[in-house]
Structure 1
Amino acid sequence: GEVIRSASYLDLLSDCQEFKYLVNAHKDTTGVSDLNNMARHRAKDLPIKETDGIHGNRYIESVKPSPVDQLIKTEERESGDAGLKPYILYLRQKKGFLYASLSVMSHIIFIAGQISQNSWMAANVQNPDVSALKLISVYIVIGVCTVFFVLSRSIFFVVLGMQTSRSLFSQLLNSLFRAPMSFFDSTPLGRVLSRVSSDLSIIDLDVPFALMFGFSSSLNAYSNLGVLAVVTWQVLFVSLPMIVLAIRLQ
């Protein structure tokens, strides 16, 4: 292309008819109802400030307003703790709560199997009525059964991630294909590509594994605390204040 004219935004808006037509075509996106007289109104409405000079003289200067009327809006981003809302929206896609519940139940059974293994070994390792073959056989059978449940936990989370990613990707494509032309004129191409590529990659890989490790670590911690509370209840005097302190510091 060729640069036909170079000037400030207000000068182009007041003098160049082609640029005025381009800006008026995007008034629905920018939220400006009348751009034909905007240059004159903004020139009249500039605030004036009196300032003391270095040598004691006073001079008047105009304060430029902030550029609120732009073709490309600033992208809105949330910062800080967003709470559980993103995870609830994630689990609502394609029976996400069902797969997450099945995965949590499988992990609970896996933890119960581990506790049963350790309890069986601790209770019967010095029992003369239980032979070594029976002791090891029962221990191995319980371990093999728990392997299937930990495998099912991983499978359910993988299915959850795949179904949710497909649903979100389909919704994103439908929104892009049905968006008006003003959206593509006012939205940078890099922003759209970032949402389609990097953000969806995070949803595909990071979110399901983060949920899986979060659920697994929490259940493991609470199960270990429960076993310690049953065996030696005095540990609660130390563990409960530490749990409250950790929650408050997060």
Structure 2
Amino acid sequence: MSALANKTVILVTHPIEFLSEVDHILVVEGRQVTQSGTYKQLLTSGAAFEELVVAHRNAMTVSDPLSRNEDERQIGNEDNVEETNQSYFSKENNEGEISMIPGAQLTEEEEKDVATPAGFYGLQAAASYWLAYTIQSPKISIVTIVSIYTLISTTSAFFIYLRSLFVTLLGLRASKAFFSSFTNSIFNAPMLFFDSTPASSDFSVLDFDIPFAYAFATAGTIETVVTIGVMASVTWQVLIVGIFATIASKYVQGYYQASARELMRINGTTKAPIMNYASETALGVATIRAFNVSDMFFQNYLKFVDKDAKVFLFSNAALEWLVLRTETLQNITLFTAAALLVSFPKDYVAPGFVGLSLS
């Protein structure tokens, strides 16, 4: 601000938190200058300005009585709170047990969401193991093999249904709780919050992306553990290579995350100018056409888009770099298992278990 020390600065504003620092104030009401003077002079003599200051102070302190009466409102609206927020906990002092206001405990729902994909992949492995074990046994009839395999597969389909159900229910409860808290925060916020903070929220991310991303991450982790367990049950030696592959993949992942985090930050700085430039161009489109500089603005817009696309390309390249090295480590593990199975003596491992291990 030192560059403006010897210059006259005119500030046109509705918020009054800056007015105490200015030298002279003009109060405009009804398109006319009704009052003039310093902040202290207008505060003592100006009726309209004093009303504006009092209204501003009341808006700043409006959240205090709301917070003091929050408990009373919660008691009066207990039924509504139970419908939208069913995850309040209370701890017993004498027994140390955690109880809950009516509704299912959140951790129990999360455990169910983890148990359902575990049951699905466990039953899949059991079905494959059953085929590998019984296909070489002449004592077991084909009808028995197919019947038990069908029973296991049908049960695994039921677990898939439960997984989708629990993911949807958890996502719905999270969305309802977030929406309720968000709405209460917005209605209890003072007007100063809206003057200085643009409030917006992408609820679709919370409704769809987060629940399904959680489901995919859980399913992928459990599937990996089950696959390693099946492979190790046939050739336990592959665990030695698997440990080194896991350590290497952890190192590669850490190297990628450092670069990806920086690329995401840069991508945020290149995406904002595009939206800002497009909105400002749309507001001044009449002036742009009047001066016949549409081509110049269009070329500038393409430059912003190209700059953002470069960062997006680098992000995809970094992801492909991670995928290539991860798949290489997976192929090394699979090649080691295949080499061990080939090197074993004949009839050391049943052919069915060889196929089970490699599939």
TM interval, shorter chain, is: 0.5 to 0.7
Deviations 1:74-110 (A, max 9, x none): xxxxxxxxxxxxxxxxxx7884322221011111111
CA distance, structure 2, for counterparts of residue 234 and residue 139 of structure 1 = 29
Secondary structure at the counterpart of residue 138 of structure 2: coil
- Identify the match of residue 193 of structure 2 among 183, 194, 211: 183
- Matched ranges for 1:212-231 at <5 A: 212-231=215-234
The answer to whether residue 159 in structure 2 is matched with residue 149 in structure 1 is yes
Deviations 1:180-216 (A, max 9, x none): 12212222xxx31x22xx2x22111110000000000
Shift, 1:124, TM fit: 0.7
CA distance, structure 2, for counterparts of residue 104 and residue 218 of structure 1 = 10
CA distance, structure 1, for counterparts of residue 212 and residue 186 of structure 2 = 28
Unaligned runs of 5+ in 1: 1-5, 30-91
* RMSD, aligned CA: 2.8
Relative to structure 1, the CA distance from residue 211 to residue 23 in structure 2 (aligned partners, 3 Å threshold; closer, same or farther) is: farther
TM normalised by structure 2 equals 0.44
Shift, 1:157, TM fit: 0.8
- Matched ranges for 1:48-197 at <5 A: 95-187=105-197, 191-192=198-199, 194-195=200-201
CA contact (8 A) 1:113 1:143 kept: yes
TM normalised by structure 1 equals 0.62
Structure 2 counterpart of 1:202, one-letter code: V
Structure 1 counterpart of 2:25, one-letter code: C
CA contact (8 A) 1:99 1:157 kept: no
CA distance, structure 2, for counterparts of residue 173 and residue 244 of structure 1 = 45
Relative to structure 1, the CA distance from residue 181 to residue 148 in structure 2 (aligned partners, 3 Å threshold; closer, same or farther) is: same
Name the structure with the higher helix share.
Answer: 2
What corresponds to 1:209 in structure 2? 212
The answer to whether residue 7 in structure 2 is matched with residue 14 in structure 1 is no
Secondary structure at the counterpart of residue 14 of structure 1: coil
Shift, 1:138, TM fit: 0.8
Structure 1 counterpart of 2:158, one-letter code: F
CA distance, structure 2, for counterparts of residue 229 and residue 247 of structure 1 = 21
CA distance, structure 1, for counterparts of residue 229 and residue 181 of structure 2 = 43
Q: How many residues align?
A: 175
- Identify the match of residue 234 of structure 1 among 234, 237, 261: 237
Secondary structure at the counterpart of residue 167 of structure 1: helix
CA distance, structure 1, for counterparts of residue 23 and residue 212 of structure 2 = 55
Kindly, what percent of the aligned residue pairs are identical?
30
CA distance, structure 2, for counterparts of residue 23 and residue 207 of structure 1 = 44
CA contact (8 A) 1:96 1:164 kept: no
Shift, 1:249, TM fit: 3.0
CA distance, structure 1, for counterparts of residue 53 and residue 240 of structure 2 = 68
Structure 1 counterpart of 2:119, one-letter code: I
What corresponds to 1:78 in structure 2? none
Structure 1 stretch displaced more, 159-168 or 108-117: 108-117
Shift, 1:154, TM fit: 1.1
CA distance, structure 1, for counterparts of residue 190 and residue 53 of structure 2 = 16
Shift, 1:7, TM fit: 4.0
Secondary structure at the counterpart of residue 243 of structure 2: helix
Shift, 1:8, TM fit: 4.0
Structure 2 counterpart of 1:15, one-letter code: H
Secondary structure at the counterpart of residue 129 of structure 1: coil
